Every structure is written in C-alpha cells, then in structure tokens.
Amino acid sequence: MTKPEIIKTNYLAIETAMAAYAVLEDTRLVIGETLPDDHPFKEAEQQMSQYCDDYGARGMRWAAWQIAPLIEKVWSGMTEDEKDGDICWDFEFVPEFMLYCLNFTDEDVVPVIKGVDKLRALYRTSRERCKAFKSNRPASTRERDQFVKDCRDEAEKQWKYVDLISDHPDEVQRAFEAKEKPAEFVKALGEDLDLIDFGPWK
C-alpha cells in the first residue's frame, strides 16, 4: 500500500487566519457590544462591519486568509515581554491589529500604511491611544449602530443634513431606547429645529 503524500502546511498561518475570521464573524452579530460613538476607531469598526455584511462568509474567509501572513509578520517582531503576557495574542493583538492597522474598503482589505515595522509602531501607538481614551457617550450595540445608520440615511434624504444625527446624540439615544422608527424620528427632529424640508432628490 502506497503511503499518502505528506502535505506541508504552515499551521501558524492557519491558526492566525482562524483567529482573524473569528473577529470578522463577531462583527456580524445583530446585538453585541460595540465601540461608543466618540471612540477614535468607531469609523474603522463600522467599515469592518460593512465589509462583512457586503461580502458575507466567503469574503470573510478570503480576507482572513489574505491578512494572516501580515499579522504573523507583525507579531513575530513584538518584544518578548509583549508576546509572553503583556498582550494576549488572540483576544487582544489580532482584533486590535485588524482594527488599528487595516482598511476595510468597498473592494479589498489593505494595510493602513506599508511596511511591517511601521505597522508594528502604528499598532503600539494606537493601543496606547485607546487605553487613554475616556468616552463621553453611552455604550453601543450593533442594533443601536444600525439605528444610527438608518437615521443618518433619513437625515440626508429628508433634510440634506446627515450630521443632524451626530449633532444631537441625546435625542438619538432617547429615540433608540423608545424604539422609534428612524424616518419618523428624523422627520420630527427636523421639524422641531425648523429645518428646510428639501424632500428626496428626484
């Protein structure tokens, strides 16, 4: 009987890809904790979530496999103290690196800057920046993020004033907790502020 061919596999790359996929899969939760609205990486988190929604499981698997080697290269150059306990590889480094150092665009996932050393430095400075951050906004969830997005779409459609939502965070929070419909809430808010009703573009 012929012995089967031995296939050489980089198991580190596989494990890293699986960790990256777990991060992407987590962004698809309908309800789950997310960054507060004033967090410096809130927009990056939303871009990642939108990418996952747009491309689904197949696109997420492709992205995880593509970025795994880069994650490994950056991690391998971290100090021994960082790798031996200061930073948890799967629960901190991988998700933080993906948030701080990758751009999830409409078409692809690309590094924020080129160069492994520069990405490692960016990761460290971003991590310290987030540690020092103190939010002035309430906790957020995927469900609330979707409500805010829908309200922003309505604000643009009804009033041509998308920042109406970010300019009135307390009203948005009240409407979300009251389970108001985005279109009705935005209409009432604009009327209370005596905004000009442009109506939808033809």
Each residue's pLDDT tens digit, 7-20: 556 788 899 999 99
Tokens in use for 164? 């109406």
The pTM assigned to this predicted structure is: 0.82
Q: What is the DSSP letter of 34?
A: E
77 Cβ contact list (under 8 Å, min separation 6):
116, 117, 120
Structure tokens at 124: 């460290």
Mean pLDDT over all residues of the chain? 91
What pLDDT, on the 0 to 100 scale, is given for residue 17?
A: 95
Neighbours of 78 (CB within 10 A): 17
What's CA 179's distance to the chain center, in Å?
24
Q: Where are the beta strands (DSSP E) in the chain?
A: 33-34, 102-104, 109-111, 140-141
d(CA 125, CA 127): 5
Q: What are phi and psi of 103, to 5 degrees?
A: -105, 120
The encoded tokens of residue 131 equal 């540690």
* DSSP run (H or E) holding 104: strand 102-104
CA 71 to chain centre: 17
pLDDT in tens, 94-144: 999 999 999 999 889 999 999 999 999 999 999 999 999 999 888 899 999
Tokens standing for residue 12? 């580190």
Residue type, 140: S
Q: Summarize pLDDT for 183-195 with one digit per residue, the tens.
A: 999 999 999 999 8
